[in-house]
Structure 1
Amino acid sequence: MTRVLVVEDDPQLVRALKINLQARKFEVVEAGDGATALRLAAARTPDAILLDLGLPDMDGVEVIRGVRGRSHVPILVLSARHTSEEKIRALDAGADDYVTKPFSMDELLARLRAATRRREAPASPAGFPGIATDEFTIDLAARKVVRGERTVRLTPTEWHLLELLIARPGHLVSQRRLLLEVWGPAYSEHTNYLRVYMAQLRRKLEANPSHPRYLITEPGMGYRFEP
């Protein structure tokens, strides 16, 4: 059974989430503040985390950073904060998705299912262990990226996107295919998702993210990994 850690201090929303998740055979673990969330994330090893940013004891972004220090578990932010800056801050900290309140429960559950599918996806295509460049090395079997002497932490979504690109070096991968493979059919037109996540990958992997050497945009068409 898939275990979901719900980090939210609104009892009514927690109750609604719990009813809907349990009805779909998810196991639910609850935390009403950031400290409890970090403790349960370590002790109960959830398969996904639904996280409110406005917690009583700390900002939710601190929780994301704390979890990312030891886990790649998918984190879906639930927040009333609507600005692009807030969304980018959460995604940069390691969140996999951002759902703005109020939200459709069906949409949230679809995003949760997509996130858990990405985590369960095979680590690498058969016979393709990884790739090395002058800037970084990608070991798909170990799910590890090393840049210089430093290990680069990637979220599950970033991993899936990177895997699709490096599986066909030098070839264009269309926006539609990337969206379908990573987020699912409901997101086939959400090209803004690709812009945000490609920007994150470039910041983590490229020497000059503004002028990328490896993760190339083909405007209006898709993206290409250039070895």
Structure 2
Amino acid sequence: MSEKTKSENLEILASDVRACRLCIEKPQKKPLPHMPRPVLQVSATARLCICGQAPGTRVHKSGRPFTDPSGDRLRDWMGIGENVFYDAGRLAIVPMGFCFPGLDAKGGDLPPRPECRNTWHDRLFAAMPQLELILVIGQYAQAYHLGAARRKTLTETVTGWRDYFEASPQPGKPVVLPLPHPSWRNNAWLKKNPWFESELLPVLRREVARLV
């Protein structure tokens, strides 16, 4: 398959994702409480991918990934600005849920919609074999990309980041680096785990600079 064919197939697939209405037309649980607005960023040339949870209210309004304080912190962690972050040719963004899932009774975001993972994720990643590194943010992304290798808690998984990052990658599979969510709600976690800033972030920034 030529590089051009790969790109065309990915473009068609991404267009299908953006037009997806499964969560209201054929939902696997209670329908999405608002009109879908799938958000993703993909290309056949990006070597780095971010896989997080799902868009929040601000991203749902903007239609662009990480247009919120979490995005500001994530870009700071990565050591890049918006010009690189939103360059699809260099950076892919594939959240576990493409649409804002709605809020729970306490005002927090609901889990990512299952329709996204079950319908689209395997196909999207198969269409981007050029990916070399995937940043997996939060428990849902870690469950998908790490499978049985994921540890019992997010903290244990992120603490063991070297085991995933330094492991010999499977042929044709990208390296996976687990991260906590960059939400400001995780300030306490970051204070309790200073090794994240001193040990993991330098590696993250080095790899981002190499790949983008």
TM over 0.5: no
Name whichever structure is richer in strand by fraction.
1
Who wins on radius of gyration, i.e. which is larger?
1
Name whichever structure is richer in helix by fraction.
2
